[in-house]
A and B are shown apart, each in its own frame.
Chain A
Amino acid sequence: MDFPSSLPPSLFTTGPLGLSDVPDVSFMCSWRDALTLPESLPQGSENTAPHVAKVLLWEPDTPGPLPLLPPGPDPWDPGVTAQDLLFRGGYQFRRQPQAVLDVTEQLSRFLWDHGDIAFAPLGKLMLENFKLEGARSRSKKKTVVSVKRLLQDLGGHQPWGCPWAYLSHRQRRFSILGGPILSTSVASLLGELLHEELALRWEQLLLDDAFTGGALAWVPGRTPEAGQLVYPAGGALDRLYFQKVNLTPGSEPRVLGGPGHIRLRGPVRQVVTRTVQGEALLAVRSDYHCALWKVSKQGQPAPLQVLQVEKGATGISLSPHLPGELAICSRSGAICLWTPQDGLQQIYKDPETLVFRDPSPWRWADFTAHPRVLTVGDRTGVKMVDTQGPQGCGLLLFRGGAEASCQKGERVLLTQYLGECGPECLHPTLHLICTQFSLYLVDERLPLVPLLKWNHGLPSAPLLARLLPPPRTGLPRPLLLAGQGGELQLLHIAGEGASTPRLAGPPQSLPSRSDSLSAFPPLEPKSQWRLQERLTAPAIGLAAAIPPSANTPVLSLFQLSAAGDVFHQGLHLQADPGPDSPAPTASWTPQATASCSRWLKALLEVAPAPPVWAAPTFSHRRLLGCFEPQKAEGKAPEGLRTAMAKGRLLQLRDLGLLPTEERAPAPEPGPEDELSERLEAAWEGQAAAWWERRRGSSLGPGKQPKRHKRRTQLSNTFSSLSGRLDLSDAASPPPSPEQTLPAARPQPPVTPPSQESTQELWARAVPSERQQTLRDYMAELPLQGDAPGGASVPSSQTSSVRATPSRQRAAVRSGSQPHCKKPRMGF
């Protein structure tokens, strides 16, 4: 093998991360890599063209990736967000941002919503540990309260969470007495656990390394155009799908038939494929299992081996040299090599990290140019381990430290062996190492000194990377890098033989899934939000293929999101990016938008995920007991009781009071109301369907009769208003048992009509801003009787009167106001 005859100059310092005194010679300029030092200057070099490296630009066919497959039938929920975990009040901008976990709110919410869970065990614990009964008090005067029942109460009959629910006197007293004890014990027991859990979740939100390496694989088929996508889908990502796809240069790939699938026993985290000596192999990592399949020429998978990883697997990789060999990393710090001949063999074990202490149990292993040497990586560095040598020893390939001029807080997130031997390849000894800030290329023959460092600047963790074969002979190899947030970058890596690997041209960003939002039809906010959420789901897989094409090289890029959606993006190499030609921007084709609409329709048909948390239900046993003695009261209490017993909402018909036309309030017209119907549909996410239906129905009868109908409706509401005036005139409301349950009476409290009409009379002369004051004042006066039947009371006025019902009623009922006050006082 050739070794670069002259390496780029670099300073070598040893030391910890973030050693600031060392000048960063690389400066992390992409153009600097183009500046390789000439071996010896050729004659007349003064006149050579400045842009030696041709800038390569891949142009997307569409402004964003398109969904390749219809959305799965299972709903998807994005899970916890920063809003759920962090303290929201008093956010302060800092140069170095700081997150504060919101334990207070979480704890109070927990006590609020799940009081039964929070307190029931406490009661039980106390019952077990305290002798509470004592001697029976002989005195008649009860000074000692038996706590036993109280504690039982805590467990069983506590009103679940609702502070307005019924509390027995005993419980009230207990909560006052036991408050200090309860709160401290809850805080110390729960608070600690909760804080721990929140910290864990927050860490996971910042970096979820489960999908490191990616769970989408492209298994090449018989012809270069045909292949299979292998990816997990389903609500729990526990079904491994095999979808045959045919790539056609210049158009969207064709999906052939439905996907076949294998159901696994856990969520699939990583899918790796390699073709070694003509044999396509597929390795899958789940949380606690790893499996290996062989894919036949026809594309049929045949299982070879299943391995169980007790402590949890963090990485799997397939050997590029020997068919069927794979390396598995465990959370315990062990790395195992599985070979068809020798079976499983532990080759490395160290629960500690390589360079400095880091708590992360994440481990990674990959192969090197020597089939018996593996790389072992953790957050702090990467080591080369000889599987045949004594265990545990080896050379460090990468050190998180001053050697690679790492920043403070920098950690290894991904390491990948880039040496797949092809006719035209880079040095088969290169390794890619990604941290949250930078990307490094390291040659295993020159450990510790990165040959290339580039600041990728991705706004999320780069956990996916794919090196592709050169699109055409003589061109550099594209390297795809994807962040967890779905951001994509494409770099070109050149350098074979005696030259050092370097970036060929400036890196390029590719459209992410969220860029496709503009291809979808406009939606109502709720669906829009859902779509947006779906499009910004974390990226968990990346695969790419370069189908052979006659003229311009094309690139097919597949992305898998955490929601199980597979997106496709076609790219083609810009023929000749002339110096002055502006980069042409791609636009959506009608086919693209049509396929997006189809996909969206299918997505909106999927029922949204059931909420993780539901409102607390009430314990009604106690309340039911209270009602028991009262008998023969009529239909209403009985209905109430049955509704309570069943735990459902009390409805009018349960009380036997069927809503009549007269009782219906003005803003609730008949069932024909278009607006509320539409809102209702939109609320359920069926607005598009509603519109279709509406349009379909409106085509027939025309619009004229409807408008007429609407008008009659309007006038109906007015007439009903006036009708009610007549009715309630006769029956001034006496205090009835029904009034203790105001919530059960949907009709507005009836106001004496006389007031409305009198207001009507004087209101015309008074400036509008003073009308309310006046009205309030007037309301205090029980003016009776002499009003004319105001037929044309504007509805706005009635409603404004209704806004202050209780005071009015109080006024009416008391009836003790002296008549001497003059109605027009002050005017």
Chain B
Amino acid sequence: MSDFSEELIRPTTEDEQGEPRAPSGTGMCFPWLQKHIETIATGGKQEKDFAQTTSACLSLIQEALLKHQWQRAAEYMHSYFQILEDSDSNKRQIAPEIIWRLGSEILYYHPKSSVETFNTFADRMKNIGVMNYLKISLQHALYLLHHGMLEDANRNLSQAETWRYGEKSSSQEVLINLIQAYKGLLQYYIWSKKKMELSQLDEDDYAYNTASQNMLNHSWKTSINLCALIQIPGVWDPFVKSYVEMLEFYGDQDGAREVLTNYAYDEKFPSNPNAHIYLYNFLKREKAPREKLISVLKILYQIVPSHKLMLEFHRLLRKSENEEHHKLGLEVLFGVLDFAGCTKNITAWKYLARYLRQTLMGSHLAWVQEEWNSRKNWWPSFHFSYFWAKSDWKEDKALACEKALVAGLLLGKGCRYFRNISKQDHQVLKKKIKQMKKSVKKYSIVNPGL
């Protein structure tokens, strides 16, 4: 029997279940595992009464929050503070974070809570369990910012900025950078307000000088605050935007370009479309050469072919002398219209109709066919179905006409969409439809003769 029993005892002794909380060995974690185990609890070492009551209290708070019963949640919260005296050091350590999370949520929504209450709560929580000081400070500042209390938020962040605990860990460093960046953002808000005031002042005024001096000061402080964070990989749109605006204002074009280029092209950063958009807009403001703009948008086209800037990209490509660019211009238009969110974009259809005709007139049939080949088995049902012919005509006749021209050019005059629109009788669009028929007859890539 020895083998037999060994076989059976093994799971208990050897922790065959693998990872803790993962009995199946898949490494997956099941938050509901405890519940299952509790249903079979018959004896043995139970959780302490204290732990039981606190965990029950926690679930009651969560339940009340999910039912929007802020009053009730606040009452339970009162009792939940006892967890801070838990003998289990592990629990005691994570407790402040839970309390902060739930407490701030209650205070945010509670009808009777005020900014003062929130402030008191935040200040208390910051000093319970030092590990959360920075996080809570940051959130507190955001709360104040949201309530329009810029000064208080700024003071809060300044306090947090200088706070240190033990050895500076990397996570602490990131948080401090974040705090500084938010501080910089606050200063940017103040700065932009001052800028607005300045624009209303007369240049010869005495006040103008002091105001501009003030602004300079702010800018200098802000740049220090912002530039540290935006070196760290992440999505820092608001920071980058404000930083660049300030740099631009003070004529530091090179600095701004560097920041934006780094933000857009650093490989450690996630591929953020906004980074390219900001760079493009900056270059546009700078009146950069068309080639430069095209190269920026080319990358954006790789990431987000459906972006509304793509139409602008198409215009740039169309104006370019380069033959390759003309081809790309067609590709971009097709690319935009591939997406479900762009199917009713009349500008895109208009551009495509016009450009298709132009391309076919310029005898670049191969370009069109190249684009069309990958789409011919799904565009007809995606764009040119009978359903769309009817509904487009009903909703937007101009759109229907543009689409019909494209359909006719790509699918020939036998296409259902084209047939449906062209036989519509409409006073105003009569001429347009006639013209459309002529174009289709002349340039359609489907040759009826063959």
Residues of A participating in the B interface, judged by any CB pair closer than 8 Å: 1-13, 21-23, 25, 27-32, 34-35, 37-38, 40-41, 43, 45-48, 50, 52, 55, 57, 81-83, 86-101, 103-104, 107, 180, 183-184, 186-188, 191-192, 195, 199, 202-203, 205-207, 277-279, 320-323, 339, 341-342, 358-360, 369-372, 379, 388, 403, 407-411, 419, 421, 427-429, 436-437, 445-449, 457, 459-461, 485, 489, 506-509, 577, 579-580, 582-583
Give every chain A residue within 8 A of B7 (Cβ-Cβ): 103, 187-188, 191-192, 195
Query: 5 closest Cβ contacts across the A-B interface?
Result: A409-B29, A579-B111, A187-B4, A509-B66, A96-B20
Q: Given A409-B27, A489-B66, is A83 in contact with B21 using a C-beta cutoff of 8 Å? A: no
Q: Does the CB pair B272–A7 fall under 8 Å? A: yes
Which of B4, B30, B268 is A184 in contact with, Cβ under 8 Å? B4
Q: Does the CB pair A82–B36 fall under 8 Å? A: yes
For this complex, 8 residue pairs linking A to B, each with C-beta atoms less than 8 Å apart, are A50-B115, A89-B43, A91-B40, A360-B26, A421-B343, A446-B271, A461-B32, A485-B32
- Is B168 located at the chain interface by the 8 A CB criterion? no
In the bound complex, what is the Cα–Cα distance between A448 and B269 (angstroms)?
Answer: 11
Distance of B81 from chain A, by nearest CB (Å): 19
Q: Does the CB pair B273–A55 fall under 8 Å? A: no
Q: Does the CB pair A460–B169 fall under 8 Å? A: no
Known pairs A12-B269, A41-B192, A409-B27 / 5 extra A-B pairs, C-beta < 8 Å: A3-B277, A7-B272, A23-B174, A99-B37, A206-B33
In the bound complex, what is the Cα–Cα distance between A32 and B142 (angstroms)?
Answer: 8
Q: Does the CB pair A409–B374 fall under 8 Å? A: no
Q: Does the CB pair A35–B277 fall under 8 Å? A: no
Which of B24, B148, B174, B181 is A48 in contact with, Cβ under 8 Å? B148
Q: Given A12-B235, A21-B171, is A100 in contact with B377 using a C-beta cutoff of 8 Å? A: no
Taking each of A7, A428, A457, which has the highest tally of chain B beta carbons within 10 Å of its own beta carbon?
A: A7
In the bound complex, what is the Cα–Cα distance between A6 and B275 (angstroms)?
Answer: 10
In the bound complex, what is the Cα–Cα distance between A186 and B181 (angstroms)?
Answer: 68
In the bound complex, what is the Cα–Cα distance between A97 and B29 (angstroms)?
Answer: 10
Q: Does the CB pair A41–B150 fall under 8 Å? A: yes
Give every chain B residue within 8 A of A100 (Cβ-Cβ): 11-12, 17
Say whether chain A's binding surface is mostly helix, strand, loop, or mixed: loop
Interface residues of B in 150-173 (CB under 8 A from A): 150, 169-171
**Cβ-closest chain B residue relative to A59:** B68
Q: Does the CB pair A184–B3 fall under 8 Å? A: yes
**Cβ-closest chain A residue relative to B232:** A11
Q: Hey, what's the 0/1 contact readout for B187-205 against A, CB within 8 Å counting as 1?
A: 0010011000000000000
Distance of B107 from chain A, by nearest CB (Å): 9
Q: Given A23-B174, A29-B139, A91-B40, is A371 in contact with B4 using a C-beta cutoff of 8 Å? A: no
Distance of B312 from chain A, by nearest CB (Å): 14
Q: Does the CB pair B273–A445 fall under 8 Å? A: yes
Q: Does the CB pair B41–A91 fall under 8 Å? A: yes
Q: Does the CB pair B29–A408 fall under 8 Å? A: yes
Distance of A544 from chain B, by nearest CB (Å): 18
Interface residues of B in 110-158 (CB under 8 A from A): 111-112, 115, 134-135, 139, 142-143, 145-150
Stretch from B237-245, B254-262, B434-442 at the A interface: B237-245
In the bound complex, what is the Cα–Cα distance between A665 and B30 (angstroms)?
Answer: 56
In the bound complex, what is the Cα–Cα distance between A399 and B135 (angstroms)?
Answer: 25
Taking each of A37, A82, A183, A279, which has the highest tally of chain B beta carbons within 10 Å of its own beta carbon?
A: A37
Q: Does the CB pair B69–A583 fall under 8 Å? A: yes
Which of B24, B65, B171 is A203 in contact with, Cβ under 8 Å? B24
Q: Does the CB pair B272–A371 fall under 8 Å? A: no
Distance of B279 from chain A, by nearest CB (Å): 14
In the bound complex, what is the Cα–Cα distance between A228 and B36 (angstroms)?
Answer: 36
Q: Does the CB pair A409–B150 fall under 8 Å? A: no
**Cβ-closest chain A residue relative to B385:** A277
Q: Does the CB pair B43–A446 fall under 8 Å? A: no
Q: Given A370-B338, A436-B30, is A99 in contact with B36 using a C-beta cutoff of 8 Å? A: yes
Give every chain A residue within 8 A of B111 (Cβ-Cβ): 579-580
Q: Does the CB pair B274–A32 fall under 8 Å? A: no
- Is B228 located at the chain interface by the 8 A CB criterion? no
Q: Given A8-B235, A91-B40, A509-B67, is A407 in contact with B29 using a C-beta cutoff of 8 Å? A: yes
Q: Given A7-B237, A187-B4, A321-B382, is A88 in contact with B42 using a C-beta cutoff of 8 Å? A: yes
- Is B56 located at the chain interface by the 8 A CB criterion? no
Distance of B263 from chain A, by nearest CB (Å): 12
- Is B221 located at the chain interface by the 8 A CB criterion? no
In the bound complex, what is the Cα–Cα distance between A447 and B39 (angstroms)?
Answer: 41
Q: Given A29-B101, A370-B340, A448-B270, is A23 in contact with B24 using a C-beta cutoff of 8 Å? A: no
- Is B381 located at the chain interface by the 8 A CB criterion? yes
Distance of B176 from chain A, by nearest CB (Å): 10
In the bound complex, what is the Cα–Cα distance between A12 and B266 (angstroms)?
Answer: 13
In the bound complex, what is the Cα–Cα distance between A359 and B306 (angstroms)?
Answer: 37
In the bound complex, what is the Cα–Cα distance between A203 and B30 (angstroms)?
Answer: 10
Give every chain A residue within 8 A of B237 (Cβ-Cβ): 6-9
Q: Given A6-B274, A46-B148, is A12 in contact with B234 using a C-beta cutoff of 8 Å? A: yes
Taking each of A2, A21, A191, A371, which has the highest tally of chain B beta carbons within 10 Å of its own beta carbon?
A: A371
Give every chain A residue within 8 A of B343 (Cβ-Cβ): 421
Q: Does the CB pair B104–A31 fall under 8 Å? A: yes
- Is B50 located at the chain interface by the 8 A CB criterion? no
Distance of B68 from chain A, by nearest CB (Å): 5
Distance of B295 from chain A, by nearest CB (Å): 20
Q: Hey, what's the 0/1 contact readout for B1-33 against A, CB within 8 Å counting as 1?
A: 101110110011001010111111111111111
Q: Does the CB pair B273–A446 fall under 8 Å? A: yes
Give every chain A residue within 8 A of B42 (Cβ-Cβ): 88-89, 91
Give every chain B residue within 8 A of A86 (Cβ-Cβ): 36-37, 40
In the bound complex, what is the Cα–Cα distance between A379 and B22 (angstroms)?
Answer: 15
In the bound complex, what is the Cα–Cα distance between A481 and B41 (angstroms)?
Answer: 30
- Is B400 located at the chain interface by the 8 A CB criterion? no
In the bound complex, what is the Cα–Cα distance between A26 and B306 (angstroms)?
Answer: 29
**Cβ-closest chain A residue relative to B338:** A370
Give every chain A residue within 8 A of B78 (Cβ-Cβ): none
In the bound complex, what is the Cα–Cα distance between A55 and B105 (angstroms)?
Answer: 13
Q: Does the CB pair A583–B68 fall under 8 Å? A: yes
**Cβ-closest chain B residue relative to A187:** B4
**Cβ-closest chain A residue relative to B307:** A3
Which of B63, B69, B147, B340 is A419 in contact with, Cβ under 8 Å? B340
Which of B104, B139, B189, B270 is A41 in contact with, Cβ under 8 Å? B189
In the bound complex, what is the Cα–Cα distance between A583 and B239 (angstroms)?
Answer: 41
Give every chain A residue within 8 A of B268 (Cβ-Cβ): 12
Give every chain B residue within 8 A of A579 (Cβ-Cβ): 111-112
Q: Does the CB pair B11–A9 fall under 8 Å? A: no
Give every chain B residue within 8 A of A34 (Cβ-Cβ): 108, 146
Q: Does the CB pair A11–B308 fall under 8 Å? A: no
In the bound complex, what is the Cα–Cα distance between A719 and B230 (angstroms)?
Answer: 101
Which of A22, A29, A98 is B171 in contact with, Cβ under 8 Å? A22
**Cβ-closest chain A residue relative to B12:** A100
Taking each of A6, A43, A88, A323, which has the highest tally of chain B beta carbons within 10 Å of its own beta carbon?
A: A6
- Is B317 located at the chain interface by the 8 A CB criterion? no
Q: Does the CB pair A50–B147 fall under 8 Å? A: yes
- Is B303 located at the chain interface by the 8 A CB criterion? yes
- Is B210 located at the chain interface by the 8 A CB criterion? no
Give every chain A residue within 8 A of B88 (Cβ-Cβ): 95
- Is B293 located at the chain interface by the 8 A CB criterion? no
**Cβ-closest chain B residue relative to A451:** B235
Give every chain A residue within 8 A of B142 (Cβ-Cβ): 32, 35
In the bound complex, what is the Cα–Cα distance between A160 and B148 (angstroms)?
Answer: 80
Distance of A185 from chain B, by nearest CB (Å): 10
- Is B388 located at the chain interface by the 8 A CB criterion? yes
Q: Does the CB pair B66–A507 fall under 8 Å? A: yes
Q: Given A449-B270, A508-B68, is A187 in contact with B36 using a C-beta cutoff of 8 Å? A: no
Q: Does the CB pair A23–B175 fall under 8 Å? A: yes
**Cβ-closest chain B residue relative to A509:** B66
- Is B420 located at the chain interface by the 8 A CB criterion? no
Distance of A427 from chain B, by nearest CB (Å): 7
Which of B238, B272, B377 is A342 in contact with, Cβ under 8 Å? B377
Distance of B137 from chain A, by nearest CB (Å): 12
Taking each of B42, B44, B148, B234, which has the highest tally of chain A beta carbons within 10 Å of its own beta carbon?
A: B148
